[in-house]
Structure 1
Amino acid sequence: MTRSPADLMRVNLLEVFNEPDPDRRAAVIAENYAHDVVWHEPDRINHGRTDLVRRAAELRAENPDWVFRPTGAASELDDIGHLGFEYGPAGGHPPTISGMDIARTRDGVITELYTIVTEIHPPS
């Protein structure tokens, strides 16, 4: 099954970065990202699926009770996908971080991912 850029953006946010099970997360990464994917974060660049798996696990470990929530529908234009997000404590608490993911895709997988943080909210 070939996923659209919008589908890949939902998978990226909800099935990778919200997934607590490391084996399930790694399987989703293997299926939906190119082996040589490049992920640009505000403070680092991750190269390849192995780095992506490792960094996703680090983010889950830093804030295990936090979740990502989409801020609207995923959108796409040609081979580019976009999805805004909020990140913070689960259970209806206000988000701590707002941002967006933008990805270039090819043949139904993410080849390059950019995470942009647009706002950091102080804790209440």
Structure 2
Amino acid sequence: MKEHESPVIVRNLLEVFNEKDETKRLQVLQELYVPEAVFFEDDASFKGHEAINLRVTEVLQTLPPSALFRAAGAVTQNHNLARLPWTLALEDGSVLASGMDIVTLEGERITALYIFINPAAVESA
């Protein structure tokens, strides 16, 4: 596996999942994703630019306004697969969640996005 910057997966995190304006987000989705791309969550999937855009809107509406997704490590890529660890944090640095994005690529465009959210740490009594 080689490590390098993958603008597509990084741009997806920063410009899709941090973009509150649906119109701007859709433009970026159309640039970064193939038309029939699929976004996979734990228990659901969303196919196509419009469905993915709607789902991202729904996710962002559940978050505090100052929450931002940030890369939490290096991008690694192996042929047409790339992964990027991330955190979701408030402006003060408080981490709300962490996880990893894994994408399949066709050239420089995303064909599928798999979101993995790390289970919250459970304090032992």
The TM tier, using the shorter chain, reads 0.7 to 0.9
Unaligned runs of 5+ in 1: none
Give, in angstroms, the shift of residue 107 of structure 1: 2.3
Percentage of pairs with the same residue: 29
- TM-score when normalising by structure 2: 0.86
Letter in 2 for 1:22: E
Assess if the C-alpha contact under 8 Å between 1:96 and 1:120 holds in 2: no
Letter in 1 for 2:8: L
- Give the Cα separation in 1 of the matches to 2:29 and 2:22: 10
- Give the Cα separation in 2 of the matches to 1:19 and 1:75: 24
- Give the Cα separation in 2 of the matches to 1:41 and 1:15: 19
Unaligned runs of 5+ in 2: none
Deviations 1:23-54 (Å, cap 9, x if unpaired)? 21110001110111111112311111111010
CA RMSD of aligned residues (A): 1.8
Indicate the structure (1 or 2) with the bigger Cα radius of gyration: 2
What SS does the aligned partner of 2:100 have? strand
Tell me what 1:69 maps to: 70
- TM-score when normalising by structure 1: 0.86
Assess if the C-alpha contact under 8 Å between 2:5 and 2:74 holds in 1: no
Give, in angstroms, the shift of residue 6 of structure 1: 1.8
Assess if the C-alpha contact under 8 Å between 1:71 and 1:84 holds in 2: yes
